[in-house]
Amino acid sequence: MAIPDKWGTGTLWGDGRLWVKPFGSNPYVLVVEQVPQRVAVEIAYDGGGDFYIDSLSLMTRAAPQIEQRYQAYFDASVGERVALEIGYSAGDDFRIDNLRVIGRSQHKRNSG
């Protein structure tokens, strides 16, 4: 089967939307200019013909800033070990998927 020149809904290559196009060693490349924290891909095909996926790879780099959906601000100096207590009592569905502290190690405590 001949590889089509390009697949997608956009009008121009490189316009920042979704494109699939024969590219380099990979027959098809999808260009997505987003900065997610975690990435999953969903492949769909309803062309009616035979379809299989030989390999799937992600070309990306880590962005300098972690993007997460919620933030609690503290600006606090604490001890050597830190635990977090998360509370929720709004009576609805609630889920924690990822929990990360943004801070630094600082001067030695209890020295001397």
Partner 1 sequence: MALRNQIPESDATYPDPELGVNLRASEEELKPGEARLMQNVVFNAGTRSRKGSSRVNSSSLGAFKCLGGHKYYYGGASPTSKRLIAYGTKISVLSDAGSETNLTSSMTTGKDTHFLTWPVTDKVYICNGTDELQEYDGTTFQSESTVVGSSQVPGNSSNPPLRMMAPILDRMMGITSNGIERTDPRVGSVWSKGSSWATLRPIRGGMFTALYPFTLRGTDSLYPGIIACQSNAYYVITGTMFGSDVTAASASNDDASIKLLSTNVGTSSPYSMESVPGVGLFWFTSDRNVFWLPEGSLVGRFVGDKLQSNGTTPGIESANLAQLGQVWMKFFYPYLVLAIPVGNDAYATTQFWLDIRTLINDPGRGPVWYGPMTGQSVGRAWVETQNGDNALRGGEGNSSNGMFVYQLQAPNVFTDAQGTTDTNISCLYRTPYPDFGAPSRGKYVQNVNADLFMPTGTATCRLYDLDGPLGSASPFTAL
Judged by DSSP in three states, 51 sits in coil
Out of 12, 39, 58, 96, the residue judged to bind partner 1 by CB under 8 A: 96
By CB under 8 A, tell whether 52 contacts partner 1. no
Least distance from partner 1 to the Cβ atom of residue 62, Å: 9
Least distance from partner 1 to the Cβ atom of residue 56, Å: 23
Burial 32-61 (b: 16+ CB within 10 A, else e): eeeeeeeeeeeeeeeeeeeeeeeeeeeeee
Per the DSSP assignment, residues forming a β-bridge with 21 are 29
Contacting partner 1 within 22-41 (CB under 8 A): 37
Of 9-17, 18-26, 51-59, 75-83, the window that binds partner 1 (rule: CB under 8 A) is 75-83
Per the DSSP assignment, residues forming a β-bridge with 23 are 26
